[in-house]
Amino acid sequence: MNIQNLNIGTRLMLAFGIFMTVVIVILALALSLLSHIAGSFTQINEHYFAKLNAASETGNAVRDIAVTIGNVVMTRDHTVMQAEMARFDPAVKKFSAGLAVMSTLTNDAEGKALLEKLKAQSECFAPIAGTAHGIAYRSSLR
């Protein structure tokens, strides 16, 4: 069958059909790629931002612990000292919670090594707090 022997309406319908087929294929590819992009966005949103938030919370907890210990050592007022020591335990719990979240979300070897260093360094919080409390208590007795 020769295309030139077809009526103009048939040729236009054939061209329109081919055009629509190409448009549908392109649309299907575009939807597939959008689905892939949405999946990547979900992974970024749920995984990387959660890890970043946990790291930020952990850093804030370390800062709170340092400020609390500094305030306990520098004060002579026993009530202020007790109030500062009351802030210490929640900060340590916040640090531990952030560390636990990062532990569950970290998969690479470098990240796990950094987490192990953080865990090892976090074991010094309690002795430092006890020492700071003892120093502050002795200085308040003077």
DSSP string for 80-97: HHHHHHHHHHHHHHHHHH
CA 95 to chain centre: 14
Rounded CA gap, 116 and 95, in Å? 14
Write down the pLDDT at residue 1.
63
pLDDT of residue 30: 94
Cα 88 to Cα 47: distance, rounded to the nearest angstrom? 29
Regarding pTM above 0.85, the answer is no
Is 45 strand, coil or helix? helix
pLDDT digits (tens, 9 = 90+) for 92-110: 889 888 888 888 888 888 8
Region 75-84: mean pLDDT is: 80
Averaged over 38-58, what is the pLDDT? 84
What are 6-43's pLDDT values in tens digits? 788 888 899 999 999 999 999 999 999 999 898 888 87
Which of 111, 64, 107, 104 shows the shortest CA–CA distance to 87?
Answer: 64
| Average pLDDT for the chain | 83
User: Where would I find the H helices in the chain?
Assistant: 8-43, 49-74, 78-105, 109-122, 125-141
Do residues 50 and 104 touch, judged by C-beta distance below 8 A? Answer: no
For the chain, percent of residues with pLDDT exceeding 90: 16
pLDDT at 83: 84
Q: Which pLDDT belongs to residue 21?
A: 97
The tokens for 70 are 């500094």
